[in-house]
Structures are given as structure tokens and as C-alpha cells.
């Protein structure tokens, strides 16, 4: 995390400065978010909408906890929203349905949170599989690691 993003995240916790701090954070992160979301879609409207919705929910939820890895939260939520808009949800819900708590979007975002913690090779293979309607790409090492990670979440009593 760069110092300016860390400072913007810190400022977001201050309710007096939150609107301007969230706007600043968005400016700092937008290009890298676009870059990451480009792996899932080249439709600029989809990407813009996903970033928009993510920052709206970020602004609303920033009070909930300062312990959360907000960078991972924002990225995973944006990925979840993007996939909702693109409509290829069957593969995602196969994993998100295993999680009990939280809203459907939060559960979907948690799957992406799991992906973000996998190694680069697995991330790449999984993210490349997402735009495809076919689930068959999610096989082998990547699926096994994602299952293992989700099992950890479930076992921790989510």
C-alpha cells in the first residue's frame, strides 16, 4: 500500500472529512482498480459501474471496522459487482453458496477475497476463467486451493 492510499484510508475513518477522503481514495485507486477489473471485462461501462457501486458501499460501511483489509475489501467487492453485471454467476455461486453469513453480494465478494489471497498463478487462472460461461476451467490446483481457502472461512464460523 502506498503512503498516500494509507493516509486516504485513515482519513476515511474521520466522519468529518469522509466525503472528500473517499473521493480522494477513489482517485488514487481508480486506475489500479480498472487494471484489475480489466482481467474480468473489457466493457468500460461495466467497469465504471462496478467501481461506482463499490465506492458507494465503501462510504456506507467504513464505520463497521478498521480491522478489515480495506484494499482487499474494495477490490473483491468491485470484482463481485462486475461479475454480477456481466451475468456469469453460476461458477461464483457454486462457491458463495457454501458460505452461510452475510448478504449474497458479500458472500460473492468473499470468494474474490479468497482468490486475492491465492498465489499469482492461481489468481491469474481463476480470473481468466471468470468471463467464460464454462465452469470447466476451474479445475485442478486452483479449484483445490480455492476450496481449501473457503473451507477455512467456513470453519472459522462465518
Partner 1 sequence: MSNSYKGWELLYQMPGGTKDPFQDPYGPTSECFSSNDVVRMFELGALSRDVSHLSRCKECRERVERFGEVTAPELAQSMYRSVPWWRKASQGFRTPQPAFAALASPQTLVYVPTTCSVNLAQGSVDTIRMQLITRRVDDLRRCTLRLEGPVTANAGCLVAGSEPYPWVEFHNVQASDDVIRELRLHNRITELVFLKVGETEQRLCLKGTSNIEFEGI
104 lies in the binding site for partner 1 (CB under 8 A): no
Report the nearest approach of partner 1 to the CB of residue 100 (Å): 10
Q: Pick from 15, 17, 102, 140 the residue near partner 1 by CB under 8 A.
A: 102
Give the integer Cα–Cα distance in Å for 72 and 132.
23
69 lies in the binding site for partner 1 (CB under 8 A): yes
Q: Which residue, 93 or 152, is less far from partner 1 as judged by CB?
A: 152
118 lies in the binding site for partner 1 (CB under 8 A): yes
Contact 118, 146 (CB under 8 A): yes
Residue 114, Cβ density class (10 Å: 0-12 exposed, 13-18 middle, ≥19 buried): buried
16 lies in the binding site for partner 1 (CB under 8 A): no
Give the integer Cα–Cα distance in Å for 73 and 78.
8
68 lies in the binding site for partner 1 (CB under 8 A): yes
Report the nearest approach of partner 1 to the CB of residue 66 (Å): 10
Q: Which grid cell sits at 46?
A: 461495466
Give the integer Cα–Cα distance in Å for 29 and 10.
14
Q: Which stretch binds partner 1 (CB under 8 A): 8-16, 89-97, 136-144, 148-156?
A: 148-156
Amino acid at each position: 500500500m502506498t503512503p498516500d492510499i494509507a493516509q486516504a484510508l485513515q482519513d476515511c475513518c474521520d466522519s468529518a472529512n469522509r466525503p472528500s477522503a473517499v473521493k480522494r481514495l477513489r482517485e488514487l485507486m481508480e486506475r489500479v482498480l480498472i487494471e484489475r477489473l480489466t482481467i474480468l471485462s473489457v466493457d468500460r461501462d461495466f467497469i465504471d459501474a462496478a467501481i461506482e457501486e463499490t465506492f458507494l458501499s465503501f462510504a456506507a460501511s467504513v464505520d463497521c471496522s478498521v480491522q478489515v483489509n480495506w484494499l482487499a475489501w474494495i477490490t473483491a467487492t468491485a470484482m463481485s459487482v462486475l461479475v454480477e453485471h456481466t451475468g456469469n454467476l453460476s461458477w461464483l455461486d457454486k462457491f458463495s453458496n457454501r458460505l452461510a453469513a452475510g448478504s449474497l453480494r458479500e458472500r460473492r465478494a468473499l470468494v474474490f477475497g479468497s482468490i486475492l489471497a491465492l498465489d499469482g498463478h492461481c489468481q491469474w487462472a481463476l480470473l481468466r476463467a471468470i468471463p467464460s460461461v464454462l465452469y470447466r476451467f476451474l479445475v485442478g490446483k486452483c479449484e483445490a486451493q480455492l476450496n481449501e481457502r473457503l473451507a477455512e472461512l467456513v470453519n472459522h464460523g462465518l
